[in-house]
Amino acid sequence: MFLLCFCFLCVIFFFFLNLRLTTHKKTPPNSTRLASDLFPRQVNNQYSRLPISLAQGKLQLQQKGRSVLIKTDFLLKVLYDWDDHLVVKIPSVLANKVCGMCGNSNGNPQDDVLLPNGDTAQNTEDLGWGWKVLDESSACFDSCIGECKRCPRDEAKKYKVEALCGLLSQSSGPFQRCHAVINPKNYLDNCVYDLCVNDGPMKSVWATESPQGATKSPRRYSYHSASPPYCRGATHPLQTRCPIPSTAMSCPENSNYTSCGSTCPATCNNAAMPADCGASTCVETCECQEGFVLDAGKCIPQAECGCVFEGRLYGLGEEFWGDNTCTKRCVCDAATRTAVCRKASCRAREECRVEQGIQDCYPTSYGNCTAYGTTHYKDFDGGRFIFQGTCVYQFTGLCKKTQDLVDFQVLVQNGRHNNQLLSSIALVNSQLANLPYHHKRKISVYRSAQDAVVETDFGLTVTYDWQSQVTVVVPGTYADALCGLCGNYNGDVSDDMMMKDGQTTLNPDALGQSWKVADVPGCMELSKEQCPTLLEATKQQEVAEKGCGLISKVDGPFSACHALVDPFKYVQSCVHDFCLFPDQQAVVCQQISHYAAICQAAGVTIGNWRTDDFCSKLGQLKHFFASQRVVSIKGSPSPGKNLYGDEPEVSLGVLSHPKSGSDPLLLSTANAHPHPAINDLIPINTKLLAKMSQG
């Protein structure tokens, strides 16, 4: 006897299934995570081909029509369509021993909405929030953004017609034989609700692109997303004369649509299919034509199948670890279709471990370099200096070329733009790009709170606050291989101010000039702006209630941080910038914000330091004063392993609107397009960006 839990989920960005199997109380749980990102699918964040047999057959994953079926050795079954439909079956021995959004399975529906503390949830939002588990995604939310949309009765009525959701309950329709087995009412209600709150079938959950490119039609939605999937499993096939045309599902090459196909299609890894794979049931699917087998969502000739290694299928030419200690690296040989392995090891400053379900060599440490305020730099080894240059400089980049390290450059430019309304923008190859932006799973650019973040697949992360703070984080494998304003990352602060010719200097202006990459009209390296009133500014700000003194105030909002992060140097930096720009409150706000971020990164909870008339959030968002940096991340033109080649150059900066009274332009989608006013980019112009992107 099995118990079922049917879950219909409205998906905004993506949906993932995290299946945790705990075998013993004293052992840590094994976690298998699934996510949809076209084909092949992700298992433990790793792109994998189905079917898969894991843990000596204790966990099996197989394709079942357009869905994945997960089976365990203790009779748990999970069916997931990679989009919005999830079904869980548990054996009867687990009755009244489970908990969560599916209830406790004790036969009493009156107590199914219990929270972890035993209380009854007041509504569905409370129920979901109560069973929320930690997740690193910033794309999830607990409730509606704004007021939840309702479905008026008259609007719901128009979606119940037989041409739409009514097809499910039509007495003479294709599902009539299933009605006696499974009542279609819940599916009809779910279909109507989804179409209603998404403004009709064309804006329903099909707004999320189907992995197989299914047509966004109302019939396609009602038939696939809301139909009872276990009708076929209960050996009640649908009528053969179905009103849904074969074109309703767009099938890949070398395959044909069928409403009742095999649940056990031939694959490149038939050995991983469970022995009890039912031949008497059927599912809606795309069946491969004769002579072809299913692999990563496509039907390919069997001769093009990859290699099976320890129960998992790998594509031709695919590399992977052959053991759990990272001492054996394997590749699927295209000629022999077998795995060929060689001795391997992790590099220096790396260790073999599992992160988020993926075994690999991971860094044991990371280096951090920051430019903040109007003039301040802190390099990888902790050295600090003040530099006011406003040309384009190499912030950091690979200087000791090796085949093991990806080549890259991070360029920065500092500029000042008093009293101009500015908009934050991102450029990809000199084109305005809306965020988030992703490229071949190698580069991601997205917003995190008020920051822009650029992440690469080799561990480089660049964070930019759209104002003056730029932070670069690199894995420890780049130690003693970098150069630029950030130093060489060798742990020795004494040689951090090394110029491009290899000589060290104590003059920040000389250091900056040696790492200049390009001139911009009016830019300069020399620190021409001095502060003759520094002593007076120091005395004033050290005691200011709304100024730099807030950082070191004994009973202030940062007092809990003082023991971990010495405030002295941060107060000095704040006073220096205030002295240069005494009329610009924003420079003080930037410095305090920087110290706040350092404290929070150290795990300290800080007090509320912003007020309506001091560093208010509204003011920070709408106006940028005194100092702006432009950041450019690109590949180096040298031969060898290069980050970019045909990859994009990413530039982050601001756009000036000196005559505009509107708010800054905030970008939110993932398309790149030319921008007619790109020559207004401050302080880099399009000619310079084009030159950079050409390397």
CB 413 within 8 A of CB 391: yes
Please identify which residue in the block is written with the tokens 């794979």: 277
Res. 137 pLDDT band, cuts 50 70 90? low
Please tell me the predicted confidence (pLDDT) of residue 630.
64
Res. 418 pLDDT band, cuts 50 70 90? very low
Judged against a pLDDT cut of 90, whether residue 380 lies above it is answered with yes
Other C-beta atoms within 10 Å of 24: how many? 7
Other C-beta atoms within 10 Å of 178: how many? 21
Judged against a pLDDT cut of 70, whether residue 6 lies above it is answered with no
Please tell me the predicted confidence (pLDDT) of residue 429.
62
Query: Cα separation of 110 and 123, whole Å?
Result: 14
Judged against a pLDDT cut of 80, whether residue 491 lies above it is answered with yes
Least confident of 58-67, 313-322, 361-370, 538-547: 538-547
pLDDT digits (tens, 9 = 90+) for 644-678: 445 667 777 655 444 333 332 222 222 333 332 32
For residue 589, give both structure tokens.
């706000």
Which positions ≥6 away from 149 have C-beta within 8 Å? 196, 197
| Higher pLDDT, residue 23 or 402 | 402
| Higher pLDDT, residue 263 or 517 | 517
Judged against a pLDDT cut of 90, whether residue 276 lies above it is answered with no
692-695: which pairs have CB atoms within 8 A and are 24 or more residues apart? 692/411, 692/518, 692/632, 692/634, 692/649, 692/651, 693/429, 693/430, 693/634, 693/648, 693/649, 695/634, 695/635, 695/636, 695/637, 695/644
Judged against a pLDDT cut of 50, whether residue 17 lies above it is answered with no
Please tell me the predicted confidence (pLDDT) of residue 362.
94
539 φ/ψ angles, rounded to the nearest 5 degrees: -60, -40
Least confident of 346-355, 368-377, 550-559: 368-377
With b for 16 or more beta-carbon neighbours within 10 A and e for fewer, the 493-530 pattern comes to: eeebbbbeeeeeeeebbebbbbbebeebeebebeeeee
Three-class secondary structure of residue 205 per DSSP: helix
Res. 329 pLDDT band, cuts 50 70 90? very high
Q: How confident is the model over 575-579, as a mean pLDDT?
A: 82
Is pTM beyond 0.75 here?
no
pLDDT digits (tens, 9 = 90+) for 228-238: 444 444 434 44
Least confident of 129-143, 453-467, 541-555, 638-652: 638-652
pLDDT digits (tens, 9 = 90+) for 201-220: 754 433 333 333 333 333 33
What are the distances in angstroms from CA 622 to CA 414, 451, 566, 585, 668?
A: 20, 14, 31, 14, 17
Pairing of strands 437-439, 681-682: unpaired
CB 469 within 8 A of CB 452: no
Please tell me the predicted confidence (pLDDT) of residue 101.
93
For residue 369, the Cα-to-chain-centroid distance in whole angstroms is: 23
Kindly state the percentage of the chain with pLDDT values over 70. 69
* Dihedral Cα 274, 279, 285, 289, nearest 10 deg: 100
What average pLDDT does the chain have? 74
**Most confidently predicted of 35-44, 260-269, 389-398, 608-617:** 389-398
CB 599 within 8 A of CB 558: yes
Please tell me the predicted confidence (pLDDT) of residue 330.
96
Please tell me the predicted confidence (pLDDT) of residue 279.
56
Task: Identify any residues that bridge with 341 across adjacent strands, giving them in sequence order.
Answer: 330
Residue 248 gets which letter from DSSP? G
Kindly state the percentage of the chain with pLDDT values over 90. 28
Judged against a pLDDT cut of 50, whether residue 111 lies above it is answered with yes
Q: How confident is the model over 57-73, as a mean pLDDT?
A: 85
Please tell me the predicted confidence (pLDDT) of residue 658.
41
With b for 16 or more beta-carbon neighbours within 10 A and e for fewer, the 34-57 pattern comes to: bbbeebbbbbbebbbbbbbbbeee
Please tell me the predicted confidence (pLDDT) of residue 646.
56
Please tell me the predicted confidence (pLDDT) of residue 342.
97
What are the distances in angstroms from CA 92 to CA 3, 95, 97, 670?
A: 6, 5, 10, 47
pLDDT digits (tens, 9 = 90+) for 496-514: 999 999 999 999 999 999 9
SS (H, E, C) 158-187: HHCCCCCHHHHCCCCCCCHHHCCCCCCHHH
CB 542 within 8 A of CB 548: yes
β strands within 491-627, DSSP E:
516-518
Query: Cα separation of 263 and 332, whole Å?
Result: 28
Please tell me the predicted confidence (pLDDT) of residue 617.
59
CB half-sphere exposure, 230, CA atoms < 13 A: 22
Please tell me the predicted confidence (pLDDT) of residue 224.
39
| Closest to 464 measured CA to CA, from 426, 432, 437 | 426
* Cis before 683? omega within 30: yes
CB 113 within 8 A of CB 121: yes
Judged against a pLDDT cut of 90, whether residue 483 lies above it is answered with yes
